[in-house]
Amino acid sequence: MTLKINEPKAKESTMAKAVQWIGAPLDRADGELKTTGKARYAADFPLERMVYGVPIVSPAASGSLIKLEVEAAEKLPGVLFILTHENAKKIFPIQNDFGTATKLAEGRFPLQDKKIYYAGQYVGLAAAETLEIAQEAARLIKVICKEERSALDSEEELPYSYFPDNNWGTPLPVIRGNFEKAFSNTEVQLKAVYTTPVEHHNPMEPHACTAVWDGDNLILYESTQWVVGARNVVADALGLPREKVRIISHFVGGGFGCKGFVWPHTLLAAMTAMHLKRPVKVVLSRSQMAAGVGHRPATHQELSIGSSKQGKLTAIKHHTITQTSFLDDFLEAAGGPTQSIYSCPNLLVSYQVVRLNHGTPTFMRAPGECTGLFALESLLDELSYTLNLDPIELRLNNLSDKSPEEELPWSNSHIKECYELGSKIFGWKERNPKPKTMKRKGFLVGLGMATAMFPGVRSPGAAKVKILSDGTAEVLSATQDLGTGTYTTMKQIAAEVLRISPHRIVSKLGDSSYPPAPVSGGSMTSASVGPAVKSAAEKAIEALIHISIKDSSSCLYHLPLEKIHAADGKLVYQDDPSKTEIFEEILKRNNLSHIEGESFVKPDNSAEGYTVQSHGAQFAEVEVHPLLGQIRVTRMVGVFDVGRILNQKTARSQAIGGMIMGIGMALHEKTVYDPRTGRVVTDNLCDYLIPVMADSPAVEADFIDKPDPRFNSLGVRGLGEIGITGVAAATANAVYHATGIRIRDLPITPDKLLKWL
């Protein structure tokens, strides 16, 4: 995919000399394509003889399939094929291991048996000449099931729950010191229960896949956060060599985690296309997305906290009851932040998981961190009022210069600066600390704050940088841009090394045929792929220098390599700047169309002996109507320490988006299931509430912007998820400050306030 923005040439030479491209607030490289409708998402590729597929779903939540009555559908003019368990291609076993990039989002192969695990599970696919015919065919097919007792209520199923013994290899429960003994002897004790509901990702672009067979090669236009992982899963499942499968995902209209792995509809599209020998497009409806592409599971979090009267934490217990499906083990690790932020010698973090007849949960923006921080940071706020301490002072009392969990120093941490700058921008010191004392135009006004955090994560990543004979350059990597700005930041990194304007560089991403890159999840893309781009650009320049010093026609002939560097699209000899060679001339004289550098960068041991984590401070102001219980977030400030900032504009966009999503978590979002059938009731964007413009306040995001050189060569950490993590707690704390009412059950809706106001 070619993305290019033209810039007047008069500016290029001057800008490249004067501007430090990394950190500059450049406009998005893909902005024009998106705003003019030219950007093609997975469902937007016009292919000849296109076939449209619509999933057939189970009405039952548990049981087995007896029969699909397909006769009426098959008689419809334009219906081409009904895919069922009786004619589906056999799917081959895969390791289903995240480490091998072969993880299925749902650990069950579609249409390989008759077992039903949740309402909305795919039991077939109707394929037709038009979407409307396919929809009608799917509607006409009668799904006859033998229903069994369904597990639909967490409380009822609690006796059958299990206690996981590990979380991604970390033994559970997590024990530090002796909680029971320390808590019984502590001066101040608090206990509380906090709950969060099921939430759905609801990205603007629905899940979509267009499958095209070219002989024995398969091309999938897929909406995915991981083109390499999707390629590996589909190839292994269909029994194909991985080089025979290509995933293209140039643009992704949001994911938030639900597009991180392959869901069953992708395999159904590929199987149907194989049978019909025509392209097949499957685009999920909102209702199908609510049932079959994951969600954030509900949590019931029981916290106990003990401290001295001066506010020094002595004991914390955090027990989380959460949910998974009968297909997979999934853990919403809400206790993670409790383990890793504050210094506390006695700690107990444990989990209990209930299996329900719902689809498998999956990662949703900051999984565990934002649910866990809602509980932890709310209880710390309660403790601050009990002790009559400023909430920031309480947190400062319990910070440590090393990780409480691993007892290793932070690789680079500026959390105190986050508190200081955030409170200054927000005007925290002007707050009257007594609840229900601040008013504005008839509304109760409250101010709240919370700590934000997210671990520093990176994985191996690769990139290729080409310098072309016309003086432009290309960056290629099989990473993805979910709307986060990756197209833009990768150009900026290359520009910094090549010393040419980023507007003369084209980013080519979202294609599994490019150098491999990890999933765009865990806030790891910049930290993983960015160093590979930097290294590849350095290798490209080095290769260009080697050509020049071996070229007898060059003024750089036989000059020492280490004294030649790139500047303004040229190679320059540092001892005599008059000796320069323009990139284009070097390549043309040597009859080369381009020269390239490629690099595969693995995490090194530079951070060995340190713990890598990003921190932040978030502040919220709310107005609450004293008679109606209506809540509005009127101001929000977030200050984040995420290492070096690659692009001030796209970084702020990410932080602001995360904070607004956090408002949704705090005040709006809740998935409702029919308790009789297990079907999602809020399966549309009318009934599932998310923040709209009227709910979005003045949001300010700022950054400490200090590199973390121990983490990677760029000093950059992830930013995509930390923005949401402290918002729900900061908002809930602000509501308490405004009203004197503590709501521990999300979302905070007017009815929960009215019974107390």
How far apart (Å, rounded) are the C-alpha atoms in residues 287 and 283?
Answer: 12
In a 10 Å sphere around its CB, with 0-12 CB exposed, 13-18 middle and 19+ buried, how is residue 437 labelled?
middle
Strand order in the sheet with 564-567: 564-567, 570-573, 580-582
706 within 8 A of 642, measured Cβ to Cβ: no
Considering 205, 369, 377, 721, which one is annotated as catalytic?
Answer: 721
Asked about 721 being catalytic, the answer comes back as yes
Q: What are phi and psi of 525, to 5 degrees?
A: -60, -55
How far apart (Å, rounded) are the C-alpha atoms in residues 465 and 463?
Answer: 7
| Closest to 535 measured CA to CA, from 713, 715, 718, 716 | 713
How far apart (Å, rounded) are the C-alpha atoms in residues 293 and 254?
Answer: 14
In a 10 Å sphere around its CB, with 0-12 CB exposed, 13-18 middle and 19+ buried, how is residue 218 labelled?
buried
Residue 591: partners with Cβ closer than 8 Å, 6 or more residues away:
none
Q: Determine how many CB atoms are found less than 10 A away from the CB of residue 566.
A: 22
What is the C-alpha radius of gyration for the chain, rounded to an integer number of angstroms? Answer: 28
SS3 at position 272: helix
Q: Which two tokens stand for residue 165?
A: 């013994």
641 within 8 A of 413, measured Cβ to Cβ: yes
164 within 8 A of 329, measured Cβ to Cβ: yes
Task: Give the CA distances from residue 414 to residues 311, 357, 660, in Å, rounded to whole numbers and listed in that order.
Answer: 22, 44, 24
Residue 63: partners with Cβ closer than 8 Å, 6 or more residues away:
116, 145, 146, 147, 148
Fill in the DSSP letter of residue 37: T
| Closest to 499 measured CA to CA, from 527, 476, 471 | 471
How far apart (Å, rounded) are the C-alpha atoms in residues 479 and 512?
Answer: 8
157 within 8 A of 144, measured Cβ to Cβ: no
Catalytic center residues: 721
